[in-house]
């Protein structure tokens, strides 16, 4: 089949994230099994208009806003006859139901919902929420592909038929450790994500200040990049709370360093508004580091509560701190979660995961 994959970013874009990593793994598998994949996306500074990535043809037009407009013209005038279109949604869809008559799948990592309130000021946040509400009406008869069952629940609440939805978990690309690594000699908590408000870093810092009241030698590592303005805000926040000597901002690091820090930390903390899946949770588990997370879509799927980590019952810094301390101090339970977390991460191989998406798209292959 010839597949058109519409995504506002591609994996080589400096602003790409976990969603693009996941999409790339699936697209690579499709190419390896004989399908032609064109990834239509936006341009970024010094990017090529076209290039090959693991057998996938990357085509770039416009920016992250205008790419939706250019996609319409590319579909009709590129000279390609597509058999299947993957409409990957990041807040705004490509509105393919309005012009694509061929088979199509909506690939959504999360229903944004309240995320709009964290990412945009009033009244733009309301416009975002209204846009999402309206486009889901347009997409009501589409087939949806997502990462987590909890996202399917949210789609159903928004009028999408459950029988039109499929959840395919995300795997990790790194190797799982074969034995428990040496951890830091003081209680060390880690947060790994892009530094934006919706990822919950402010709640994690608040939770850590409460942890310090019980464990005054504790440390917090913040791993990930963000805008200069927001990082400065977070550093000022830690200063005002008297945490500067206890909190380290590592910034954006490479994969090797990220996994090294995960392996040395005791517990990963995550307080996101919601996630598509929570890939960092699985990565941390592969390094024998359990997670304590908010009970939100995505995170409640990637963390097996009371088996590989803790999904807290109340989403607030106080409860996050309490559960993190309980787990750290309960050595028997902590080691149990370490072992079960590693086994959970091992079960999520890309070979197994991509076979599911291959089965999904092959249903649209007229050759079968």
Residue 273: exposure state from Cβ atoms within 10 A (0-12, 13-18, ≥19):
buried
Query: Which pLDDT value is given to residue 17?
Result: 82
Instruction: Using pLDDT thresholds of 50, 70 and 90, give the confidence band for residue 15.
Output: confident
Query: What percentage of the chain carries pLDDT values higher than 90?
Result: 92
262-275 pLDDT per residue, tens: 999 999 999 999 99
Token pair of 156, please? 């159903």
CA distance 366 to 102: 12
148-206 pLDDT per residue, tens: 999 999 999 999 999 999 999 999 989 999 999 999 999 999 999 999 999 999 999 99
Tell me the C-alpha to C-alpha distance, in Å, between residue 72 and each of 61, 75, 94: 11, 5, 8
Counts of helices then strands in the chain (DSSP H, E): 13, 14
CA distance 206 to 213: 11
CA distance 302 to 305: 9
What does pLDDT average to over the chain? 96
Cβ atoms < 10 Å from Cβ of 201: 25
Token pair of 189, please? 């908590």
Nearest-5° angle of CA 131, CA 137, CA 138?
90
Query: Which pLDDT value is given to residue 91?
Result: 87
Q: Which domains does the chain have, with CATH numbers?
A: 2-171+350-362 (3.40.50.2000), 188-347 (3.40.50.2000)
Instruction: Using pLDDT thresholds of 50, 70 and 90, give the confidence band for residue 368.
Output: low
* pLDDT > 90? residue 367: no
CA distance 358 to 354: 6
219-276 pLDDT per residue, tens: 999 999 999 999 999 999 999 999 999 999 999 999 999 999 999 999 999 999 999 9
Query: Which pLDDT value is given to residue 18?
Result: 82
**pTM summary value:** 0.90
Query: Which pLDDT value is given to residue 24?
Result: 97
CA distance 190 to 264: 9
């Amino acid at each position: 089949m010839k597949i058109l994959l519409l995504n506002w970013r591609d994996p080589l874009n400096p602003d790409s994230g976990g969603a693009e990593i996941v999409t790339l793994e699936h697209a690579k598998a499709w190419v390896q099994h004989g399908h032609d994949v064109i990834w239509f996306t936006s341009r970024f500074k010094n990017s090529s208009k076209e290039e090959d990535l693991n057998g996938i043809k990357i085509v770039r037009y416009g920016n992250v806003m205008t790419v939706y407009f250019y996609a319409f013209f590319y579909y009709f005038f590129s000279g390609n006859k597509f058999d299947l279109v993957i409409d990957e949604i990041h807040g705004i869809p490509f509105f393919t139901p309005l012009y694509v008559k061929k088979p199509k799948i909506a690939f959504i990592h999360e229903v944004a919902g309240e995320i709009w309130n964290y990412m945009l000021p009033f009244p733009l946040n309301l416009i975002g929420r209204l846009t999402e509400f309206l486009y889901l009406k347009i997409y009501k008869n589409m087939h949806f592909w997502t990462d987590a069952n909890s996202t399917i629940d949210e789609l159903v609440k928004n009028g999408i038929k459950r029988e039109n939805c499929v959840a395919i978990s995300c795997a990790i690309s790194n190797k799982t450790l074969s034995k428990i690594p040496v951890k830091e000699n003081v209680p060390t908590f880690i947060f790994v994500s892009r530094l934006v408000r919706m990822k919950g870093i402010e709640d994690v810092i608040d939770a850590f200040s409460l942890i310090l009241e019980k464990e005054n030698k504790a440390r917090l590592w913040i791993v990930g990049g963000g805008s200069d303005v927001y990082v400065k805000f977070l550093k000022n926040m830690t200063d005002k709370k008297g945490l500067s000597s206890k909190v380290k901002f590592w910034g954006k690091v490479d994969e090797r360093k990220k996994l090294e820090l995960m392996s040395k930390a005791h517990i990963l903390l995550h307080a996101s508004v919601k996630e598509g899946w929570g890939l960092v949770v699985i990565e941390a588990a592969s390094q024998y580091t359990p997670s304590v997370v908010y009970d939100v879509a995505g995170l409640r799927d990637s963390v097996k509560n009371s088996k590989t980590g803790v999904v807290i019952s109340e989403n607030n810094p106080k409860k996050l701190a309490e559960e993190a301390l309980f787990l750290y101090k309960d050595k028997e339970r902590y080691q149990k979660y370490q072992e079960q977390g590693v086994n959970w991460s091992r079960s999520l191989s890309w070979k197994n995961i991509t076979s599911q998406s291959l089965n999904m798209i092959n249903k649209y292959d007229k050759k079968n």
